[in-house]
A and B are shown apart, each in its own frame.
Chain A
Amino acid sequence: MGLRRNVGLFTGLRYQGKGPMLTYILHRIGGLGIIIFVATHILASFAGGTVGVFLNTVYEHWLFQIFIFFCALFHAINGLRIVILDLWPKLIEHQREAIWVEWAVFLPVYAIAVMVIVRTALGG
């Protein structure tokens, strides 16, 4: 089980994998964002009190909503691509096209959501 790795974190970050690498990085950021949000959300409603109320005001802030909706939506759409390509390995030939489709779905949906969030925040 011992793995030998000769690449450090910062060398790894300089790897230029282009499109697929970007989805990989964003998938990780999105996943970690969801974990932090869901864990604190469950613990806040478990603990209650002033901590719970404070965390609720954080969740309801429009900046946080823009961030967490990015995490959730990108993780969900990119995850669906990974599931489809992994369960039907022959489709891996079309990975780059799949990533283009993924952005074509993600960008409009996310743009509409951001517009709604910002308009609600501005009181409209």
Chain B
Amino acid sequence: MTAKTRTVSLAKRGFDFETFMWIFTRLSALAMYLCALIGLVGALILGARTEMNMAELIRWTFMPSPTHVLNTNVPDLAPWSTLFWKMTGSVFIFFATAHGLHGLLSVIEDYLARPRMRLTLRIIVLVLTALMIGIGIYVLWTA
């Protein structure tokens, strides 16, 4: 190994929008794994082993919304619609929407080289992200 360093310090490289979203995409992925794990373990603690089938458990794992246990054999919906689950679901919606719409942005930007259009697109995606987070959390809390 040569002593020559292959990395650039953060100050020299600059911490711009792309760098921020690059690390955000990775960390939000980890956060979503954690949300899914909390949902899975929580459902099993609440009795999913005998009261839900595999598809219903997976559906709950991806989004801990009380509407996702409506058609299962769960006798009482109350433990499934607590503040804790609403907060977990809201965090999940926030990370999923921001992660997903930024992913959509980076796919489109790969085929879009004009700076003006890229800036317009970024503003549209930012507005769309805020809107979808709002709608998603509204649907979850009023379900």
Q: Which residues of A contact B104 (CB under 8 A)?
A: 31-32, 35
CB-CB under 8 A for A83 and B29, given A2-B115, A9-B111, A34-B100: yes
Q: How far is the CA of A87 from the CA of B30 in the complex (A)?
A: 11
Q: How far is the CA of A38 from the CA of B92 in the complex (A)?
A: 12
Q: How far is the CB of B4 from chain A (nearest CB, A)?
A: 16
Partner of B100, one of A31, A82, A116: A31
Selecting from A14-22, A40-48, A98-106, the interface stretch reads A40-48
Partner of B113, one of A5, A42, A76: A5
Evaluate contact between A1 and B115: CB separation under 8 angstroms: yes
Give the nearest-CB partner of A76 in chain B: B33
Q: Which residues of B contact A42 (CB under 8 A)?
A: 132, 135-136, 139
Tell me whether chain A's interface is mostly helix, strand or loop, or mixed: helix
Evaluate contact between B111 and A32: CB separation under 8 angstroms: no
Interface band, chain A? 20 to 34
Q: How far is the CB of B50 from chain A (nearest CB, A)?
A: 18
Q: Which residues of A contact B114 (CB under 8 A)?
A: 2
Report B's interface with A, CB cutoff 8 A. 26, 29-30, 33, 54-55, 62, 67, 96, 100-101, 103-104, 107, 111, 113-115, 118, 132, 135-136, 138-139, 143
Report A's interface with B, CB cutoff 8 A. 1-5, 9, 28, 31-32, 34-35, 38-39, 42-43, 45-46, 72, 76, 79-80, 82-83, 86-87, 116, 120
